[in-house]
């Protein structure tokens, strides 16, 4: 009987700690930190559609670093989450054009200020692109964003000029996670 009481006390210590009040305070602090991190630091995002193939698979998951651009500016080739409709609908796109640059598409290739842009992340063999777009100069806070899968007509893609204020943050992982629904 005494042995059973000793075993029960160890189970209680493991589950709720030696002092239940301290355990409750720890749980409350952890919950507050998780809620604050979710609201202001990191957010989950799920890829829907094939616009970022082959880099990010459809229905894959990732995280958005919401504070990435507080201390640094967006850079070319960053994959970003863009506020599309409220806080819950975001687009995942790659930055290819920076403020003040002139961007154009010729025979599916991107030209920045008249020079062809080397895009090591692109798979033109499996995802060919034939887009054409005349030169367009970006404004002071404008970025040109596009998905990695440019195999369909440009008119069917969510691509184009975005003001920096619409960036939610930078995508954390280079590949996506497999989330089940």
User: 168 is written with which tokens?
Assistant: 């939610």
Q: At residue 1, does pLDDT exceed 70?
A: no
Domain ranges of the chain: 1-40, 45-178
| Torsion 60-65-69-72 (CA) sign | negative
User: 109 is written with which tokens?
Assistant: 């290739």
Residue position matching structure tokens 């440019």: 150
Q: At residue 5, does pLDDT exceed 60?
A: no
User: 38 is written with which tokens?
Assistant: 């979710």
Q: Are 138 and 144 in contact (CB under 8 A)?
A: yes
The per-residue DSSP string of 116-147 comes to EPP-TT--TTTS-----EEEEE--TTEEEEE-
Q: At residue 156, does pLDDT exceed 70?
A: yes
Average pLDDT over residues 10-31: 82
Output 88 or 169, whichever has higher pLDDT.
Answer: 169
Note the pLDDT of residue 181.
47
Q: At residue 116, does pLDDT exceed 80?
A: yes
User: 47 is written with which tokens?
Assistant: 């890829």
Output 62 or 114, whichever has higher pLDDT.
Answer: 114
* Number of neighbours of residue 123 by Cβ within 10 angstroms: 14
The residues assigned a catalytic role are 51, 93
This prediction has a pTM of 0.80
**Selection from 44, 73, 38 nearest residue 167 by Cα:** 73
Average pLDDT over residues 121-143: 92
Which pLDDT band holds residue 176 (cuts at 50, 70, 90)?
low
Q: At residue 73, does pLDDT exceed 60?
A: yes
Average pLDDT over residues 142-171: 89
User: 76 is written with which tokens?
Assistant: 């070319």
Residue position matching structure tokens 């970006």: 138
Superfamily of domain 45-178 in the CATH hierarchy: Umud Fragment, subunit A (2.10.109.10)
């Amino acid at each position: 009987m005494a042995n059973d009481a000793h075993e029960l006390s160890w189970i209680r210590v493991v589950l709720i700690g030696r002092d239940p009040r301290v355990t409750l305070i720890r749980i409350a602090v952890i919950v507050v930190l998780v809620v604050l991190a979710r609201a202001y630091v990191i957010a989950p995002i799920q890829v829907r559609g094939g616009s970022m193939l082959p880099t990010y698979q459809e229905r894959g998951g990732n995280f958005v670093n919401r504070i990435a651009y507080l201390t640094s500016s967006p850079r070319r080739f960053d994959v970003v989450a863009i506020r599309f409709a409220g806080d819950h609908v975001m687009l995942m796109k790659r930055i290819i054009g920076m403020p003040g640059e002139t961007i154009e598409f010729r025979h599916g290739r991107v030209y920045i200020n008249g020079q062809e842009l080397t895009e090591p992340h692109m798979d033109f063999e499996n995802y060919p692109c034939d887009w054409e777009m005349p030169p367009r100069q970006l404004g002071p806070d404008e970025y040109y964003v596009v998905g990695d899968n440019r195999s369909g007509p440009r008119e069917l893609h969510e691509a184009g000029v975005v003001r920096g204020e619409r960036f939610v943050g930078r995508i954390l992982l280079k590949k996506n996670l497999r989330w089940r629904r």
